[in-house]
């Protein structure tokens, strides 16, 4: 490759940053590539821990921040605002590729800006299924993307089923696995000291709103907190993402304040979170961390409700509905629950290398910007 390629990464949440961090770090070390990071969404919201700080700690060369947030009830306006901000930034730097992850409104904004401005769009972790509005966004992003970096064969197969061309699909695993097994994770002692966690043993709580169940989220959040208060484990509780319904969860979490069994955090640094997850008794809620990361560490999982119902997983997860009865029942059994460590459904921790190899091949840059539909 002759000219330096400009790769623009978009991040709106602590979760998607965990997925792309190792990829950005890898490109920062390459002379043939220049990485840019467009930071927006939850990263700039104080209520969620202002996680821009975590990105700044990485000392990336080119970081641009854009305030896109309106409020949780207007995801469509957040999308419109993000499109406007990203479009202006792209006209300033002229990227060769925009890299987006997953199924957030910011992701959709990135795919729209790229596809309508004749910029290659690469989508990480497309072709997966979950539940809720996220799935609609994920598949829409896949159709707007030219290149797909997927986690596993099942996801690749679904994209083929959606008419995507085989040459555009690269199976690299899930990039956060790179960090999960890196030698740079802090020790448990360091992580506990950093966050002033006194518990000897603890579980992790991550409970997000389900936008399509907004009318019931207030009750679901309240019932869930009842179960936690009724239980006797210690808990590290992490705020939800900022989707529609998050305020109900934040309001319910207020009941956990000043209770010595709970430590509540707006956000945790990704590496510190992984160390705390790796050493917890179990994880409860409906976060993809319970589907992705926890099985790799052999952590028992109580998954509540519909949010992750279709996610690819080979772990023995305890799936329960939102009722207090079922959640209490799961909590009463969890200490004796045995789990098998997951096999490598999501790669082997070398996603960043596979990503870089793909970008170094000329073929990827010759992919047709004019999308084609391939009939099966």
CB neighbours of residue 185 within 10 Å: 18
Q: Which residues are CB-contacts of 199 (< 8 A; sequence separation ≥ 6)?
A: 192, 234, 236, 263
pLDDT digits (tens, 9 = 90+) for 8-31: 999 998 888 988 999 999 999 999
Cα–Cα distances (Å) from 143 to 84, 115, 140, 171, in that order, read 21, 10, 5, 17
pLDDT given for residue 21 in this prediction: 92
pLDDT given for residue 73 in this prediction: 62
Q: Which residues are CB-contacts of 177 (< 8 A; sequence separation ≥ 6)?
A: 296, 346, 347, 348, 349, 351
pLDDT digits (tens, 9 = 90+) for 183-218: 889 999 999 999 999 999 999 999 999 888 889 999
Whether the predicted pLDDT of 2 surpasses 60:
no
Whether the predicted pLDDT of 342 surpasses 90:
no
Whether the predicted pLDDT of 309 surpasses 60:
no
- Do 209 and 246 contact (CB within 8 A), yes or no? yes
Q: Which residues are CB-contacts of 23 (< 8 A; sequence separation ≥ 6)?
A: 9, 99, 124, 175, 351, 352, 355
Are 5-181+349-365 and 188-336 the same fold in CATH?
A: yes
Which one, of 29, 24, 31, 26, lies nearest residue 5 by Cα?
A: 31
pLDDT mean across residues, the chain = 90
Whether the predicted pLDDT of 338 surpasses 80:
no
The larger pLDDT score, comparing residue 100 to residue 131, is at 100
CATH of domain 5-181+349-365: 3.40.50.2000
Which CATH number does the domain 188-336 belong to among 2.60.120.10, 3.40.50.2000, 3.30.470.20, 1.20.140.10?
A: 3.40.50.2000
- pTM of the full structure: 0.86
pLDDT digits (tens, 9 = 90+) for 151-186: 999 999 999 999 999 999 999 998 888 888 888 899
Strands 62-65, 33-39: pairing is parallel
For the chain, the C-alpha Rg in angstroms (whole number) is 20
Whether the predicted pLDDT of 246 surpasses 60:
yes
Spell out the domain ranges in the chain: 5-181+349-365, 188-336
pLDDT band at 46 (very low <50, low <70, confident <90, very high): confident
pLDDT digits (tens, 9 = 90+) for 110-130: 999 999 999 999 999 999 886
pLDDT given for residue 140 in this prediction: 96
Whether the predicted pLDDT of 311 surpasses 60:
no
What's CA 271's distance to the chain center, in Å? 14
Q: Which residues are CB-contacts of 224 (< 8 A; sequence separation ≥ 6)?
A: 207, 252, 285, 304, 322, 327
pLDDT digits (tens, 9 = 90+) for 67-90: 997 666 678 899 999 999 999 999
pLDDT given for residue 306 in this prediction: 67
Whether the predicted pLDDT of 260 surpasses 50:
yes
pLDDT given for residue 312 in this prediction: 46
Q: Residues 328-338: what's their mean pLDDT?
A: 89
């Amino acid at each position: 490759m002759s000219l330096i390629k400009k790769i623009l990464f978009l991040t709106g949440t602590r979760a998607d940053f965990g997925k792309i961090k190792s990829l950005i770090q890898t490109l920062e070390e390459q002379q043939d590539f220049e990485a840019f990071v467009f930071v927006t969404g939850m990263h700039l919201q104080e209520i969620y821990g202002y996680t821009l700080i975590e990105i700044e700690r990485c000392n990336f060369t080119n970081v641009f921040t854009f305030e896109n947030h309106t409020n949780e009830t207007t995801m469509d306006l957040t999308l419109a605002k993000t499109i406007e901000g990203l479009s202006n930034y792209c006209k300033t730097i002229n990227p060769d590729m925009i890299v987006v992850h997953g199924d957030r409104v910011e992701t959709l904004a990135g795919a729209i800006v790229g596809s309508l401005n004749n910029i290659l769009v690469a989508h990480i972790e497309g072709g997966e299924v979950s539940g809720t509005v996220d799935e609609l966004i994920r598949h829409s992003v896949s159709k707007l993307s030219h290149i797909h970096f997927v986690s596993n064969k099942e996801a690749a197969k679904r994209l083929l089923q959606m008419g995507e061309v085989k040459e555009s699909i690269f199976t690299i695993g899930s990039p956060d696995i790179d960090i999960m097994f890196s030698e740079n994770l802090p020790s448990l002692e360091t992580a506990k000291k950093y966050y002033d966690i006194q518990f000897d043993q603890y579980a992790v709580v991550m409970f997000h709103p389900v936008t399509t169940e907004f009318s019931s989220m207030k009750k679901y959040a309240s019932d869930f907190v009842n179960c936690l208060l009724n239980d006797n484990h210690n808990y590290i509780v992490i705020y939800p993402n900022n989707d529609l319904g998050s305020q109900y969860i934040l309001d319910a979490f207020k009941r956990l304040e000043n209770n010595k069994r709970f430590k509540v955090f707006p956000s945790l640094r990704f590496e510190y979170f992984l160390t705390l997850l790796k050493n917890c008794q179990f994880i409860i809620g409906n976060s993809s961390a319970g589907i992705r990361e926890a099985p790799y560490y052999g952590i028992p999982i109580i998954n509540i409700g519909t949010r992750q119902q279709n996610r690819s997983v080979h772990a023995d997860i305890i799936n329960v509905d939102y009722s207090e009865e079922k959640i209490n029942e799961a909590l009463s059994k969890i200490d004796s629950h045995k789990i098998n460590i997951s096999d490598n459904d999501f790669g082997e921790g070398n996603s960043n290398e596979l990503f870089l190899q793909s970008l170094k091949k000329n073929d990827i840059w010759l992919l047709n910007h004019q999308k084609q539909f391939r009939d099966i």
